[in-house]
Chain A
Amino acid sequence: MRKIRSLLALLAIAALAPFPIQAQQPRHGGELVFPVPSEPPSYDGHREETFGLIHPIAPFYNTLLRVDPNDRSGTKPSPSLAESWTVSADGKTYTFKIREGVKFHDGSEMTSKDIKASYDKIIFPAAGVGSSRKGQYADVESVEAPNPTTVVFKLKHTSGSFIASLLSPYNFIYKADILAKDPHWYEKNIMGTGPFVFVEHVKGSHVVGKKNPNYWDKGKPYLDGFRAIFIRDSAAQVAAVRGERAQIQFRGFSPKDRDNLKAALGDKITVQESPWDCILMVGLNHKVKPFDDPRVRRALTLALDRYEGSKALSQIAIVKEVAGVQVPGTPFATPPAELAKVAGYWHDPEKSRAEARRLLKEAGVPDGFAFTFTNRGTPMPYEPLGVWMIDSWRKIGLNVTQKVVEPAAYFTPLRKGDTQVFMDFQCGYIVEPDLDMYKFLSSSRNPANYGFYEDPTLDALYDKQSETTNVEERKKIIREFEKRVLDEQAHYLMTLQWHRTIPHSSKLHGWTITPSHYLNNTLDTVWLSQ
């Protein structure tokens, strides 16, 4: 009797076994393969701007702080080489406690000295050493390392976004001794503290990394290694995932690619989607008539039916969400109901167009008025957005021709003011109003404002929100800023927020999508099943 009972019990357990438990245990092992659309020109994160560096090279390094890899909004700071931090009462001193027992891949110990050296290189580069993000740390007065487990940042004045600025995935921590001997060493060499150790880089082909057995985060990484393959052509990248030769592409695929993959592989594909922290905005050259007249500018934004555009273009391009100055769904973004009050976001396209025509007439712009729209020669999504907008402007009686300029030469006419209406763009690694709204500041403050306007009211609003630490207060000020820049003055016209679609192999776990394609590429939390 006993035997039968235990046999039954065994059978019962065996019957239940194939049903998966809710939380799967990460499996150790396997090589992650992923295509990267562009190859990095050098290995130095402090110098480069391209995601083509982050995807294959970030796994070899750690940063001081990182964005929480499980946070979908991509805004939550989380410890990395720094275990914790405190802010002084006056808000101008940030003290970080540095983790102990972290080793570089060459076996040497990582201390605060290395963090100081790396940040000195970023914020106060020596002559002849290039740092791309120096301007972001203009507020920093000094970086100190009083003892091996402490780093202190002293700021010139308070800032609501300083921690966010430390979350940049490009701020690799290098070894101080190496930097002292040769500050350019890291351009051509890789040696960090990251979860993976550099194996090889065959130019034009691939980068291979293998698991760091002495990684400070015990138990990680789960993967045995990774292989980043450089494939420029997007169809070939999709084919790699479709042929199950690669598990994921970390930048994003088009909606059609997602549909194709789903149709071809069914459940073997998991899709993660998110609004993308990239947006194209239309700039207007305020130095050229009639774009110095806010009525004309408002007419141009009123002509764009963003809701129809969103519905239509999201099928054929990587854009989707209707957005103001912040990525929809993030803490400081204006809720849709309120956004609908801003010009260009009304839910009545007929009314908008009528108002646009009225404004044009009032401003003295004749019917059939012709102007040139300068667009950038990158097909996606510049081309479809251009077609959509030109058609929209045609509907209010404007005759627009496109002048497409190659990316390498794009900023020449913009800088020279050799434009009338042009496309500008912005991509961030983190959604933070200070970073996202910097673009709209007056030209005297931001030389990269090719609209060439001065708006002190706008600048004042920006400064006010930057210094405000109360979240609700800040939201109110940001909304005022948005209303002024997009509606009352219509200095810039937002198009549609990009939409990030990552269809990946269902065997891939531990990776959460965020709005930024620069984030979450250290690969320490990723594991492959089966």
Chain B
Amino acid sequence: MGRYILKRLLAMVPTLIGVAVLIFLLLRVIPGDVVEARYLSQGSQFQSQDLMDIERAKLGLDKPLWKQFTSWMTGLARLDFGVSMWTDAPITQEIKLRFALSLQLALMASTIATLLAIPLGILAAFKQDTWVDYAVRVFSIAGLATPSFWLGSLMILAMLVVFKWVPPMVFTPLWVNPWDNLAQLIWPAMAVGYRYCAVGTRMMRSTMLEVLREDYIRTARAKGLWMKLILTRHALKNAILPVLTVISTEFAFLLGGLVVTEQVFNLNGLGMLFVEGISHRDYTLIQALVMLVATAFLTVNFVVDIAYGWIDPRIRYR
């Protein structure tokens, strides 16, 4: 088991390095830089070239690429993420501000997705090819198909017109004021969670179908729903695992990938930070954010792999 864990851990390293190289190069291929973004954006009549050169030198943008890369990587090794090119603030500070919100939103959305997916998937499996099955599949696919930003806009519009109420705009942490916190985050959590439940529902349904195909279950067909549930409760454990896998892999992407949702609900999260960082050409910030999300993603994968390896020893020796 120990060897397996080590193997999986080591497999993460080249991927992380690959991600680092890719994002570094990608950013520098993109035209424009942070100095231009800052000094040429206001339409003022006088554009100072030497001011821009001074700024570029200060940020180290005039150094050769490999030098910039190595200084960044050595910083990373020391867990020093550097400062944002746009605000000069330490990146850990910039990220910390938004991390709590994004983390909470990702957790809430994943929870809602799971809470919806498991019962719906089981129900659809038990009632396969009946109208219940169809209804569940239509419901969950509708979630996949609806653009979350459209759904969000409609939700806000409905609340405004019907209840004359707008969700709070400033983030209050959960332990400071749970009411304000939830009043702001429950709506995007629902919009996002609904969307992701489809993936989980589909998985739950197919794994449940497999379980139901077992002979001892088939013979109990006449005994009704509750009987089947009791018989399957042991198999349920194995059936739920792939669902959790799917939802947890998506979770990592919810951290930085909710760009449009955050825009619609005006949330100061990591997604907004991403978009702002790209539009500001804030290389250090984007690099740090990408590494964060990639690490989260790989860590979740790692944990899932270990869990599987522990449950099913055959996997360890593949």
The short answer to whether A and B are in direct contact, CB under 8 Å, is yes
A411 at the B interface (CB under 8 A): yes
B93–A203 touching, CB < 8 Å: yes
Q: Which of B83-91, B175-183, B202-210 contacts A (4 or more CB under 8 A)?
A: B83-91
A410–B32 touching, CB < 8 Å: yes
Enumerate chain B residues within 8 angstroms of A406, measured Cβ to Cβ: 32, 279
Q: Pick the residue among A39, A50, A130, A135 that contacts B55 (CB under 8 A).
A: A130
B2 at the A interface (CB under 8 A): no
Most B Cβ at <10 Å: residue of A39, A51, A411: A411
A483 at the B interface (CB under 8 A): no
A136 at the B interface (CB under 8 A): yes
Enumerate chain B residues within 8 angstroms of A508, measured Cβ to Cβ: none
Q: Which of A181-238 contact B (CB under 8 A)?
A: 187-188, 203-205, 229, 231-233, 235-236
Q: Which of B17-25, B45-53, B135-143, B240-248 contacts A (4 or more CB under 8 A)?
A: B45-53
Enumerate chain A residues within 8 angstroms of B31, measured Cβ to Cβ: 409, 412
CB-nearest residue of chain B to A233:
B266
Q: Which of A26-65 contact B (CB under 8 A)?
A: 39, 41-42, 47, 49-51
B39 at the A interface (CB under 8 A): yes
A439 at the B interface (CB under 8 A): yes
B46–A203 touching, CB < 8 Å: no
B48–A132 touching, CB < 8 Å: yes
Q: Pick the residue among B37, B39, B281 that contacts A132 (CB under 8 A).
A: B39
B30–A407 touching, CB < 8 Å: no
Q: Which of B278-302 contact A (CB under 8 A)?
A: 279-281
Most A Cβ at <10 Å: residue of B31, B46, B55: B46
B169–A240 touching, CB < 8 Å: yes
0/1 string, A119-137, CB within 8 A of B gives 1: 0000000001111111110
Enumerate chain A residues within 8 angstroms of B170, measured Cβ to Cβ: 205, 229
B224 at the A interface (CB under 8 A): no
Q: Pick the residue among A130, A232, A439 that contacts B54 (CB under 8 A).
A: A130
Q: Which of B208-254 contact A (CB under 8 A)?
A: none
B43–A39 touching, CB < 8 Å: no
B130 at the A interface (CB under 8 A): no
Enumerate chain A residues within 8 angstroms of B169, measured Cβ to Cβ: 231, 236, 239-240
Enumerate chain A residues within 8 angstroms of B263, measured Cβ to Cβ: 233
Least CB distance from B168 to A in Å reads 10
Least CB distance from B53 to A in Å reads 9
CB-nearest residue of chain B to A128:
B54
B280–A133 touching, CB < 8 Å: no
B36 at the A interface (CB under 8 A): yes
0/1 string, A389-416, CB within 8 A of B gives 1: 0000000000000000011111110000
Question: Contacts A130-B54, A412-B32 hold; do A49 and B42 have CB atoms under 8 A apart?
Answer: yes
Enumerate chain B residues within 8 angstroms of A407, measured Cβ to Cβ: 37, 41, 279
Q: Pick the residue among B41, B51, B97 that contacts A47 (CB under 8 A).
A: B51
Enumerate chain B residues within 8 angstroms of A269, measured Cβ to Cβ: none
A41–B86 touching, CB < 8 Å: yes
Question: Contacts A132-B48, A135-B48, A136-B46 hold; do A410 and B87 have CB atoms under 8 A apart?
Answer: no
Alpha-carbon distance between A130 and B51 when the two chains are bound, in angstroms: 5
Least CB distance from A227 to B in Å reads 12
Alpha-carbon distance between A235 and B89 when the two chains are bound, in angstroms: 27
Least CB distance from B49 to A in Å reads 8
Question: Contacts A131-B51, A278-B43 hold; do A39 and B32 have CB atoms under 8 A apart?
Answer: no
A-B CB proximity, top 7 nearest: A409-B32, A408-B37, A130-B51, A135-B46, A427-B43, A409-B31, A408-B32
Which residues of A are interface residues toward B (Cβ below 8 A)? 39, 41-42, 47, 49-51, 128-136, 187-188, 203-205, 229, 231-233, 235-236, 239-240, 243, 278, 406-412, 425-428, 435-436, 438-439, 447-448
Which residues of B are interface residues toward A (Cβ below 8 A)? 30-34, 36-51, 54-55, 86-89, 93-94, 97-98, 166, 169-170, 263, 266, 268, 272, 279-281
- 30 A-B pairs within 8 Å (CB atoms) are namely A49-B41, A49-B42, A50-B38, A50-B42, A130-B55, A132-B39, A132-B48, A133-B44, A134-B46, A203-B89, A203-B93, A203-B94, A205-B97, A229-B170, A231-B266, A233-B266, A239-B166, A240-B169, A408-B37, A409-B30, A409-B32, A409-B36, A410-B32, A410-B40, A411-B40, A412-B31, A412-B36, A426-B45, A438-B46, A448-B47
